[in-house]
Structure 1
Amino acid sequence: MSDGSRLAATIWLPKDAEENPVPAILEYIPYRKNDFTAIRDSIRHPYFAGHGYASIRVDIRGSGDSDGILVDEYLKQEQDDALEVLDWIGKQPWSTGSVGMIGKSWGGFSSLQVAARQHPALKTIITLCSTDDRYADDVHYKGGTLLSSDMLWWASTMFAYNARPQDPEVVGESWRDNWLDRLENTPPNVEEWVKHQRRDGYWKHGSICEDYSDVKIPVFAVSGWQDGYTNAVFRLLENLPNESKGLIGPWAHEYPEVATPEPAIGFLQEALRWWDQWLKGIDTGIMDEPKLTSWIQDSELPKVQYTERPGRWVADHAWPSTNVSGTSLWLADGKLMNGAKASGESTIPSVQEHGYYAGVFCPFGQPGDLPSDQRLENGKSVVFTSDPLQETVELLGHPVLNAELSSDQERALLAVRLSDKAPTGESTLISWGVLNLTHRNSHEHPEPLEPGEKYKVSIQLDALGQQLPAGHQLEVALSPTYWPQAWPSPKPVSLKLYQGEDTHLSLPVRTPHRDDDSCGNFENPETAQVIGKDIIREGERTRNLTHDLITNSWKLEDFSDEGERILHTNGLQHGSMNKNTYTIKGDDPLSARVNCEWELTIGRDEWQTKLKTFSEMTSDATCFYLTNTMTAFESDKEIFHKTWKKEIPRDFV
């Protein structure tokens, strides 16, 4: 880099690339290419190189074997470094000077952000499981509520990840001093994230939705219905250059060639068609295909994990699509009705443990990720149910709840669940949304509620692609609590919902199109040969919910052992374990508590290191309280221990 820092990269090249230069593909992420993502990288980077591309994997500044300390997500420094990497690629003898970027999650974010910087060498990107809006559609806040399921968990994850040491075989004897520097100066990002509880300049940075016109290159946006980032695909298609395309399958937060649930697809072949079109100028026919190809899921009974989601691929040649139109159902007297009822009201009380059966915010395809039968939640909320459907309906896009309501408190939220109720009674969650009611007019300028005053609000639920069979019913469930997804309001809240013209659910009903039958003809998955490994410890996942009947305390313990392995390519041994605990008392919103624990190991032969972290978040009526502790070991000897504590005022949350 221009400041003298060095970034670590692995580069896969076609054998004759120096004699016959090729375009390049860049993946730019902080997840440690030589150990943590080594297996993942081996699936696709050699594949691209074997098909005529230089495929480059870079650890961003402060991660893996790159120099520096990673102090936060998506900094301007990160983008500036990426521009220098693009400069460097263009100067190499094996490069034609044309580059594409690809990435999932952080890599998808960074590819969008770098695209907005308009480097002349960057011709296109493939962004997977990412977002264009860092405030409204990421792991920190949702609908202006603090996302307690993920805010601390993700911060604790990066707190531990960023403090891991460099590899002595790569950087030499400096590794230990560098490690101690990382341990001392790697911050708990949750402190900065909680400081910014409204949509201010901190979140606008890196959010390309601030000015979509900054992105002038074609974008291939990919996600899945179980991913936490599906909504962004629709916004990107609506706002980015016309050549951009979208793909949504049934998948969790993963690349589609290895994702669950089935059907997985030959995504690397699709990526090659995209690269060939935009980096080699070959007409692959991909631009003649639909703007959005999406998987409409068949109705299924609720399970916390699916290995397969039956359904069908459908084609939409524009977004918004002429195949989708809105239809409304009105909420009144416990029913979803085809017409508005003139008057009446429903009281919606607080039940603090409502939401424990929601599943995780962003499933990675692990057992237990998905929502349980929503009958377990319905008694803790107010439910409105439609008559049985007379014919099968397909939905594609965002449901929207419009409501007229009042609150008995100055601060309150409204959570909305949309479920598919089978004739046998099971209730499958198909979409949800939440709104901090002090953000009803703006995420930038929240306003307190006047108790008893009526307000009209609109809540956009997560996008879905879902079939609803004849005979099934729709359920809308409302509550002023949704723990542990949303941090509770400071006091128990009672809402009143006023039925009438202004309280209704809008549904995106899709009419089948003749082109549906000819779309989605994907090949079977292909990958490069995965690198070898020896398993030291198998992985394991448990999710246990307990209820103390005497104290009315609820506790969810989510434990994930990702196992431990030795890589054949470099002899590195690495493993990780994570436990997250969410507790609350049924009558006390101020009892909410999140604890996140990590243990990470990395080593080789006589060189062994271990990190243990503990993170905690609590609140009272006026402040959030954060505690983060890091302990590091070298060969089982403790070499570092530090605790960070922070008190941050609540800001309309």
Structure 2
Amino acid sequence: MKKFFIIYFIGLFSFTFSQKISLKEVSHAENLNAESIAKYLARKLEANYKEKDKAAYYDTLFRLNIINENYDLALSEIDSLRNIYIKINPALTMSTGSQFEIYINTVKRNPTEKDFDKVYEEEFRRKYNAASLKSQILFPQYFIYNEIQTKKEIDEIIKKSLKTDSIEVNDAITLCRRYNTYNVGKKTFVLGSRLVKELEKEEFIIYDSIKINTKNNNILTLSVVLSKKNKEQLQNTVLINTIYSDERNINDAKEFAVNGFAGVILNTRGKYLSPNSIEPFEHEAEDINEAISWIVKQSWSNGKVGMIGGSYLGFSQWAATKKFNPALKTIIPQAAVGIGTMDFPMKNNIFTSYALRWLNYVTNTKLTDYADFNNVEKWDSIYKNWYQSGKPFRELDSISGKSNVIFQKWLTHPNYDEYWKNMVPYKKDFSKINIPILTITGYYDSDQLGALYYFKEHQKYNQNANHYLIIGPYNHSGAQGNIQSNLKGYKIDSIANIDLNKICIEWFNYTLKDSKKPAFLKNKINYEVMGLNQWKSTNSINTFDKDNLKFYLENRNNNLLLSGLYSDSKDSSLLKIDYKDRSDADDLLKLKYDVVEDKIYNKNNLIFSTNTFEKPFEFSGNFSGKIKFSVNKKDVDLYAYLYELMPNGKYFLLSTYLGRASYNKNSEKRKLLTPNKKEVISINNNEFVSKRIEKGSKLVLVIGTVKSPFWQVNYGTGKDVSDETIADAKEPLEIKFYNDSYIEIPVLR
């Protein structure tokens, strides 16, 4: 339920002028400084700026006009930006840009330097008091920024651009945005932050930076927010456990306080004010239960606790059920990380390079290192250097310039062993979980595999599980309530744009306050059919396995077909890949895998296609299959991407599979292949999706072996993959996919 994102966009811009702006007019000026350059660029950009995405357009334009001192125009553009999102999240939308609106209204009154703070406070209070309580909660986040870092980023762009007397348009936009924040922030953010703290004391009782000592002498830090309206009552508690320590997290607790709960933010051991080492995922099962025991002893607690949160925060709720505290009455895991081999840091036993980036994100500081994490250029360069060097995956952290103990520890656990099992419920542990649960994920959520792993295991081991699921066309952020209307090129159905945050509050009222169940939850599984603009529901995950279309991967006279008819042919489709060749690094790093794409990557893979469908049908569930192959190595990592090739010629991504062949039958124990022997792997643990396949469409399957800067490179020697090097590549990999391989598509008639 993250709310502290600020609506802003730096996307692909369209301009009526050159993609570079000359700086010759200002580069030799006597009083050249960041202000003069920013004002020069803002004038140039404002006069010619065009952008198809209206939100991105207004979000950049109002900042340019603040620099240009076109204040009335800037206010109008802030309103235009808010109007775009008003139906999605009114509280967030109406507070967005408040720090700039207050500044503009202050400057418009032409105060003297002596009176500036007084006038600013008047404008601040006017805006704050006019806002709803939910909007007021969001105010603190708008007055937090790193002045030194922002100035450094501005200076770096200027220094780079002055060398050539010109600046890239995207750099010019970034510079202007940074300068606007720097200029307004330097003048007003300290005052704004002070005023927020004064005003919020009128609504909330806030206990920040509480330290609790655990039984094992570890220290945890948490924050508590209570509404003054409810201070005389014993309260239900909503607990959020997070590793993303940040001052703004307190806003989430405030939101629950507004809705009649005690809001508690618990920081992972080692984070915030905890002096312990930061060891992600390892201690949640123990620490959360200690925190819950502390909560129920407080004078304001009624003894009942619920939990919510997404990603790591979703994982932590499942960790809390490992050693169950009876005071925990419900959880809402959103986009929950499936820790270990099923999701992160591995997908079907293949480690991702992203794991190191994420570890730095959460372990570099006691807070959260956004600057390092968001430095995509830096991390792509690290991935590329490792990939092109051919060094073992185990050296990725040293290549990055900073060793990471946790990363090295993870690499010693390439299968689903006791290390991972100790973090969350395992098999029969799920049978003991009898609290109501609401899982939320999305078709394009990077942690969908984790979210559905927990859901399916709970259903499997507890036949009476009171467990509900909401799944729709959402990415990782969308599954946490920040739904995007345009998702990587796909404009989601209007009916999919639901208020997940409202449903979560209704769920807590239902489970903790004995109110009605959220009306949206018709049955246990609630899913939106893309293209049909309709929510459907069922009570069993088995609903999606009842009817399937089977397609064989047939090579018919060198035409690669997804054929509905089985062929007795012994033919196969050959794929030959030289693992010593790293010339593809840049191409691979550029791949976006949007939901809708004009073309698909067609190097080092095979592409199979069905005939055109004469009737539309509903594809709902997970595609599955048996891939029968032989390879001249002892192991191989395979991927399979399934698309709908629509009548308009665009490709719609449906689902993906990625997995290590030697772990396909058992993620807990590796079994190597016999070179050149026919083998079989099952396609499983891939993304669930629901979409209406259009008349005139085809299904397209892209299948290949994993060789990418984003993943471990499995050279097939049978050694620990983290230790293999490019010297192990030797002869090119040759893999034959036999004609009796097949995939099955779940169809709802």
Q: Structure 2 length as normaliser, TM-score?
A: 0.58
**Which stretches of structure 1, 4 residues or more, deviate above 6 A after TM superposition?**
353-361
Aligned CA distance change for structure 1 residues 440 and 30 (closer, same or farther; 3 Å): closer
Deviations 1:240-266 (A, max 9, x none): 353110111222212543232465422
The answer (yes or no) to whether the contact 1:29–1:107 under 8 Å persists in 2 is: yes
Equivalent position of 1:9 in the other structure: 222
Is it true that 1:347 corresponds to 2:593 in the alignment? no
Equivalent in 401, 405, 417 of residue 641 of structure 2: 417
Query: What SS does the corresponding residue of 2:542 show, helix, strand or coil?
Result: coil
Equivalent position of 2:159 in the other structure: none
Query: What SS does the corresponding residue of 2:224 show, helix, strand or coil?
Result: strand
Query: What SS does the corresponding residue of 2:287 show, helix, strand or coil?
Result: helix
Deviations 1:253-310 (A, max 9, x none): 1254323246542222211221111111223355972211112223xxxxxxxxxxx8
Deviation at 1:118, TM superposition (A): 1.5
Pairing 1:190-339 to 2, within 5 Å after superposition: 190-211=407-428, 212-240=430-458, 241-254=464-477, 256-261=480-485, 263-284=496-517, 286=519, 289-298=522-531, 311-321=533-543, 325-333=547-555, 334-339=560-565
d(CA) in 2 for partners of 1:319 and 1:279?
A: 27
d(CA) in 2 for partners of 1:244 and 1:472?
A: 36
Query: Which one-letter code corresponds to 1:325 in the other structure?
Result: D
Deviations 1:295-326 (A, max 9, x none): 2223xxxxxxxxxxx84322223222268532
Is it true that 1:504 corresponds to 2:732 in the alignment? no
The answer (yes or no) to whether the contact 1:159–1:187 under 8 Å persists in 2 is: no
Query: Which one-letter code corresponds to 1:152 in the other structure?
Result: L
Equivalent position of 1:389 in the other structure: 613
Query: What SS does the corresponding residue of 1:320 show, helix, strand or coil?
Result: helix
The answer (yes or no) to whether the contact 1:28–1:58 under 8 Å persists in 2 is: yes
Query: Which structure's residues are more often helix, by fraction?
Result: 2
Query: Which one-letter code corresponds to 1:297 in the other structure?
Result: M
The answer (yes or no) to whether the contact 2:246–2:367 under 8 Å persists in 1 is: no
Q: Structure 1 length as normaliser, TM-score?
A: 0.66
Equivalent position of 1:75 in the other structure: 282
Deviation at 1:5, TM superposition (A): 4.7
Aligned CA distance change for structure 1 residues 104 and 322 (closer, same or farther; 3 Å): closer
Can you give the 5+ residue segments of structure 2 that lack an aligned partner in the other structure?
Answer: 1-212, 370-401, 459-463, 486-491, 716-728
d(CA) in 2 for partners of 1:425 and 1:357?
A: 22
Structure whose CA Rg is larger: 2
Equivalent in 346, 366, 375 of residue 141 of structure 1: 346
Deviations 1:344-392 (A, max 9, x none): 111122266779878999xxxxxx6736737341243111100011111
Deviation at 1:203, TM superposition (A): 1.7
The answer (yes or no) to whether the contact 2:471–2:527 under 8 Å persists in 1 is: yes
Is it true that 1:429 corresponds to 2:653 in the alignment? yes
Query: Which one-letter code corresponds to 1:291 in the other structure?
Result: K
Is it true that 1:494 corresponds to 2:734 in the alignment? yes
d(CA) in 1 for partners of 2:302 and 2:282?
A: 29
- Alignment coverage as a number of residue pairs: 464
Is it true that 1:398 corresponds to 2:602 in the alignment? no
Can you give the 5+ residue segments of structure 1 that lack an aligned partner in the other structure?
Answer: 166-184, 299-309, 362-367, 512-653
The answer (yes or no) to whether the contact 2:657–2:683 under 8 Å persists in 1 is: yes
d(CA) in 2 for partners of 1:216 and 1:355?
A: 48
Query: Which one-letter code corresponds to 1:74 in the other structure?
Result: F
The answer (yes or no) to whether the contact 1:10–1:57 under 8 Å persists in 2 is: yes
The answer (yes or no) to whether the contact 1:360–1:371 under 8 Å persists in 2 is: no
Deviation at 1:488, TM superposition (A): 2.2
d(CA) in 1 for partners of 2:604 and 2:644?
A: 18
d(CA) in 1 for partners of 2:482 and 2:667?
A: 37
Query: Which one-letter code corresponds to 1:61 in the other structure?
Result: R
d(CA) in 2 for partners of 1:358 and 1:400?
A: 26
Deviations 1:13-41 (A, max 9, x none): 1324442111100001121131xxx0x65
Deviations 1:116-162 (A, max 9, x none): 3220100010001114x4223223211222223x2322233233245
The answer (yes or no) to whether the contact 2:506–2:517 under 8 Å persists in 1 is: yes
Equivalent position of 2:6 in the other structure: none
Deviations 1:519-570 (A, max 9, x none): xxxxxxxxxxxxxxxxxxxxxxxxxxxxxxxxxxxxxxxxxxxxxxxxxxxx
Deviation at 1:225, TM superposition (A): 1.7
d(CA) in 1 for partners of 2:577 and 2:606?
A: 10
d(CA) in 2 for partners of 1:355 and 1:230?
A: 27
d(CA) in 2 for partners of 1:228 and 1:359?
A: 18
Query: Which one-letter code corresponds to 2:470 in the other structure?
Result: L
The answer (yes or no) to whether the contact 2:245–2:366 under 8 Å persists in 1 is: no
d(CA) in 1 for partners of 2:349 and 2:545?
A: 31
- Greater RCO, CA 8 A, separation 6+: 1
Equivalent position of 2:240 in the other structure: 27
d(CA) in 2 for partners of 1:379 and 1:408?
A: 20
RMSD: 2.8
Equivalent position of 2:693 in the other structure: 468
Equivalent position of 1:596 in the other structure: none
The answer (yes or no) to whether the contact 1:357–1:372 under 8 Å persists in 2 is: no
Deviation at 1:186, TM superposition (A): 10
Deviations 1:441-475 (A, max 9, x none): 32222122211111121122322222211101111
Aligned CA distance change for structure 1 residues 95 and 110 (closer, same or farther; 3 Å): same
Deviations 1:205-229 (A, max 9, x none): 2232433224221111011122112
The answer (yes or no) to whether the contact 2:335–2:480 under 8 Å persists in 1 is: no
Query: Which structure's residues are more often strand, by fraction?
Result: 1
The answer (yes or no) to whether the contact 2:551–2:744 under 8 Å persists in 1 is: yes
d(CA) in 2 for partners of 1:128 and 1:239?
A: 16
d(CA) in 2 for partners of 1:136 and 1:398?
A: 19
Equivalent position of 2:118 in the other structure: none
- Higher mean alpha-carbon deviation, 346-355 vs 13-22, is at 346-355
d(CA) in 1 for partners of 2:672 and 2:219?
A: 49
Aligned CA distance change for structure 1 residues 388 and 116 (closer, same or farther; 3 Å): same
Deviation at 1:408, TM superposition (A): 0.9
The answer (yes or no) to whether the contact 1:116–1:216 under 8 Å persists in 2 is: no
Identity between Structure 1 and Structure 2 (%): 20
Equivalent position of 1:534 in the other structure: none
Aligned CA distance change for structure 1 residues 45 and 233 (closer, same or farther; 3 Å): same
The answer (yes or no) to whether the contact 1:331–1:499 under 8 Å persists in 2 is: yes
Deviation at 1:164, TM superposition (A): 6.8
Aligned CA distance change for structure 1 residues 331 and 399 (closer, same or farther; 3 Å): same
Query: What SS does the corresponding residue of 1:225 show, helix, strand or coil?
Result: strand
